[in-house]
A and B are shown apart, each in its own frame.
Chain A
Amino acid sequence: MLLVNNIYFSRQSKAILKDVNLSLPPKGIIHLTGNNGVGKTTLLKIICKILNPDDGEIFWNGKNIKKNHYDYCKNITFILDQNTSNENLTVYENIIFWKKIFSSQIKINEIESILEVLGLLEYKNTSTIHLSFGEIKKLELIRLIIEQKKLWVLDEPFIGLDLKSVEIIIQTITNHLDLSGMVIFTSHTLPTIPNINTVNLEINE
């Protein structure tokens, strides 16, 4: 259960977020929309504790995340709109690195099957500098599976993906929700995610 209470955030004495309230029960999904510059990414960064709000609190399972920051970090996966894979490492090395730092229990053959579904298996030993934008984005989204966390925070997950991959991602999200996971994502287009109580939130200044 994630509760976001009265978040207020300003940058250089200009208010970006005012009185934002969100509540996300298990199996819940929130779709954030809004014009450019209303602070969607900022709100996601506040939820991920990268930015500190000027006012307001965030509760995770009834506990304030300020006090148990590291426990909270163990429950959250953040996919940024930029790619975090290192361009000097190969696809496989990037995945192994993520597996290692998040102490993931995922098996090697599972990783290979995911790579095959996403069509990345032939690039397994290629440096990511040689991949196209969409392929790097797909690699980025593999982190969702590797990290095995409860709360997924996605910033523009569908940009640059082909229709087939979008279908796969939506299917993954649906499966995750069935396992009582939670998802927050921003997107300018509303993807058709079946039988889920989607909360649309317009962030206004």
Chain B
Amino acid sequence: MKFLINPNRFIKFSDLVFKPLICLSAIFLLIGIVFAFFLSPNDYQQGATVRIMYIHVPAAWIAVLTFLIMTLYSIIGLAFKINFSFIINSAIAPIGAIFTLICIVTGSLWGKPMWGTWWVWDARLTSVAILFLLYLIIIFLKNSITNINVSEKITAVLIIVGSINLPIIKFSVDWWNTLHQPASISKLSSPSIDPSMLRPLVIMTIALMLLAIVIGIIRIKAEILKRKLR
């Protein structure tokens, strides 16, 4: 597992897995799209719009997971002085921001036909919007301090302070009586979702996660090379 904290090991490891990952993500994406559009039933209430779920839910998961990874790496980086964790932070922050944006946009596209409005100020939506703004502020702060040694560490502090938002996102549907439906997948033993819909959702989740990992590997490698050049 040394490749997670050592840039040289990471480059070696990523060279090994990069091509298989691209193939896998392409295959999964194709299967997922086929499943999502043709091999899954319409919802009896929501009709065809339920298919937005197959991109909305994975994007939300990736957005939150990315922030979680950044938080863990910030703690590791500040506590054990591992510079590679700051490289990872600055590489994957834009990925998280983009997936949060995808989540918000698909969510409001889904909300218009279902709830009759693009946007409501409910706890889940607001906390995800704050997550998006946090991502933006993290990226801005990193770029507005010239000294890169300072900027990456201070950004790590901001990420740790901002991670207070993660439990709020997770539990907002339980704590407040929200319009957004509560989690239906988390109960793995008996999910409150039909298997015919669960299947494409799982495939799309794997596909999008693989895609995010592929983009992440490219960005991390570019970041490593950029720091070597300086």
Contacts and interface: CB of A to CB of B under 8 A. Distances in A.
A12 B230 CA distance: 9
A11 B148 CA distance: 11
B86 to A, nearest CB: 13
A12 to B, nearest CB: 7
Nearest to A11: B149
Interface bin, chain B: under 10
Interface string B141-158: 000000011000000000
A102 B148 CA distance: 35
A25 to B, nearest CB: 34
A12 B229 CA distance: 12
B217 to A, nearest CB: 23
Contacts of A11: 149
B91 to A, nearest CB: 19
B169 to A, nearest CB: 36
Interface string A1-24: 000000000011000000000000
Nearest to B149: A12
Contacts of A12: 148-149, 230
A23 B29 CA distance: 66
Nearest to B147: A12
A12 B148 CA distance: 9
Contacts of B149: 11-12
Interface in B118-167: 148-149
Interface string B187-230: 00000000000000000000000000000000000000000001
A64 to B, nearest CB: 19
A132 B13 CA distance: 61
A47 B230 CA distance: 29
Interface in B17-58: none
Nearest to B83: A13
A156 to B, nearest CB: 23
A12 B149 CA distance: 7
A191 to B, nearest CB: 35
Interface string B66-110: 000000000000000000000000000000000000000000000
A122 B230 CA distance: 53
Contacts of B148: 12
A11 B147 CA distance: 11
Contacts of B230: 12
Interface of B: 148-149, 230
Interface of A: 11-12
4 contacts: A11-B149, A12-B148, A12-B149, A12-B230
